[in-house]
């Protein structure tokens, strides 16, 4: 019988605020928030501690709004060098526990401790990690323990701060299914309303849904199957100890010189990146079954979102359309971005990816598309990959209503 995996998801609590309190113990016990404090108080809260959260202060809230909720709130200017230092201490410590560590952002990661736990009970190990991180670095963490990454991630969010939560598959009906659908990891701001429109209000509703075809029509086949599996506690993704996603993939990214919060600027950049990746796929006679985006925020959080496809692609238009959908799904008003990337994975040879034409396809449209692509590729081969690309359409300005 196969030994069940034991996966930890470890999440630093109020990371930036915790770092500031570790640097200045006098801040401990007081309501503080990390944010740029400009004269007009238009800065955005990056990290409130739990004393501040008791007043209703949240991440991305404007400083002036936060000060109305708590007049004694202490605003601390962010110091990213400090946060990088503590992040390194955090992960260096975890590497001493096990080399099977996947870094998912500056303040969280997954550990496969299956082998380690042959010598120590998982709860004892979690308590040891939690205590030593507080004692040595003043860094509080929450730990989720589960047989896979998805359940471990969900578990770590259930009890904060300094929580340790075990989530077993046989217990998901009690602890996972009652949660609102928005609480499910992997569901963004565009998907949640779509699910609610078809009667899926909780994770349990998704797990027990009998009409899979309805779900496929609502959010797409690959996404639908993946979400339903996770809602039922299934996740076969492995802890990626390499922290290198370059294998069998093509990616391109752009780091901005200044903070960017305008989605249209980001989309223009994604269009160029998508064109570049599509050209490289075409040159290598490959197509992709997964397309995704990578976002690095100004607080050093690095996240990846992707979409699996039923048919492999390598065209600029399709590549960009998927990247744009993912950005719209997960980009929030007030997000400040320093890097945007587009990637293509699960590559297959082009000869395996010939498009199947059915009796329902518009043949004239397909032929025109193929001819356009041949012309574009010919120009690129002759004059370079940046010499021509499909255009990015600016959104039309909204008409002013007559008074």
- Active site residue ranges: 108
Tokens of 175: 């602890």
DSSP string for residues in 192-216: HHHHHHTT--BHHHHHT---HHHHH
Q: Give the helix ranges, DSSP H, for 311-357.
A: 316-330
> Distance between CA atoms of 29 and 31, rounded to whole angstroms?
7
In terms of DSSP bridges, do strands 47-48 and 32-34 run parallel, antiparallel, or are they unpaired?
A: antiparallel
Nearest of 149, 195, 196, 203 to residue 174 by alpha carbon: 203
Taken in order 96, 98, 103, 104, the sign of the CA dihedral is: negative
The pair of structure tokens assigned to 88 is: 């390194």
- Asked if 39 and 179 touch (Cβ cutoff 8 Å), the reply is no
DSSP string, 356-369: PP-TTS-HHHHHHH
Residue 178 phi, psi (nearest 5): -70, -15
**How far does CA 8 lie from the centroid of its chain?**
18
- Measured CA to CA in angstroms, residue 212 lies from 27, 169, 310 at distances of 52, 22, 16
Residue 90 to residue 96: CA distance in whole angstroms: 10
Q: Which helix (DSSP H) or strand (DSSP E) does residue 273 occupy?
A: helix 263-283
State both tokens at 75: 């605003």
Secondary structure (3-state) at 59: coil
CA 143 from chain center: how many Å?
A: 19
Query: Measured between alpha carbons, how far is 220 from 218 in angstroms, rounded to an integer?
Result: 6
Bridge-based pairing of strands 141-146 and 164-166 is parallel
Backbone angles phi, psi at 294, to 5 degrees: -125, 130
- Give the Cα separation of 109 and 79 in Å (integer): 22
Alpha-carbon dihedral sign for residues 343, 244, 303, 79: negative
């Amino acid at each position: 019988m196969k030994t069940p995996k034991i996966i930890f998801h470890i999440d630093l609590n109020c990371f930036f605020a915790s770092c500031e309190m570790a640097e200045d113990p006098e801040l401990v016990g007081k309501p503080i928030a990390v944010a740029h404090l400009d004269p007009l108080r238009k800065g955005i809260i990056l990290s409130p501690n739990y004393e501040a959260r008791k007043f209703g202060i949240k991440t991305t809230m404007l400083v002036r709004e936060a000060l109305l909720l708590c007049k004694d709130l202490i605003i601390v200017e962010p110091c990213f060098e400090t946060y990088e230092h503590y992040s390194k201490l955090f992960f260096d410590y975890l590497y001493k526990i096990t080399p099977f560590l996947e870094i998912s952002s500056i303040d969280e990661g997954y550990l496969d401790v299956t082998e380690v736990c042959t010598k120590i009970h998982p709860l004892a190990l979690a308590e040891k990690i939690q205590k030593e991180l507080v004692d040595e670095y003043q860094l509080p963490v929450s730990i989720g323990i589960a047989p896979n990454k998805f359940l471990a991630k969900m578990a770590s969010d259930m009890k904060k701060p300094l929580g340790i939560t075990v989530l077993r598959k046989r217990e998901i009906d009690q602890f996972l299914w009652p949660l609102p659908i928005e609480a499910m990891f992997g569901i963004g701001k565009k998907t949640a309303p779509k699910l609610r429109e078809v009667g899926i209000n909780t994770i349990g509703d998704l797990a027990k849904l009998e009409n899979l075809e309805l779900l496929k029509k609502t959010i797409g086949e690959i996404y639908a199957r993946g979400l339903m599996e996770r809602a039922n506690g299934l996740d076969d993704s492995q802890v990626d100890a390499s922290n290198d996603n370059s294998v069998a993939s093509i990616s391109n990214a752009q780091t901005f010189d200044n903070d960017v919060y305008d989605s249209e600027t980001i989309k223009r950049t994604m269009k160029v990146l998508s064109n570049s990746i599509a050209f490289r796929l075409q040159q290598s006679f490959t197509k992709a079954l997964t397309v995704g985006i990578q976002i690095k925020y100004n607080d050093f959080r690095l996240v990846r979102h992707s979409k699996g496809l039923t048919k492999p692609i390598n065209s600029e238009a399709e590549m960009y359309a998927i990247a744009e959908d993912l950005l719209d799904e997960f980009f929030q008003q007030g997000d400040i971005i320093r890097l945007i990337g587009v990637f293509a994975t699960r590559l297959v040879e082009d000869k395996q990816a010939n498009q199947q034409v059915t009796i329902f396809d518009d043949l004239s449209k397909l032929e025109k598309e193929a001819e356009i692509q041949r012309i574009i590729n010919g120009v690129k081969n002759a004059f370079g990959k940046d010499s021509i690309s499909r255009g990015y359409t600016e959104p039309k300005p909204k008409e002013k209503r007559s008074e």
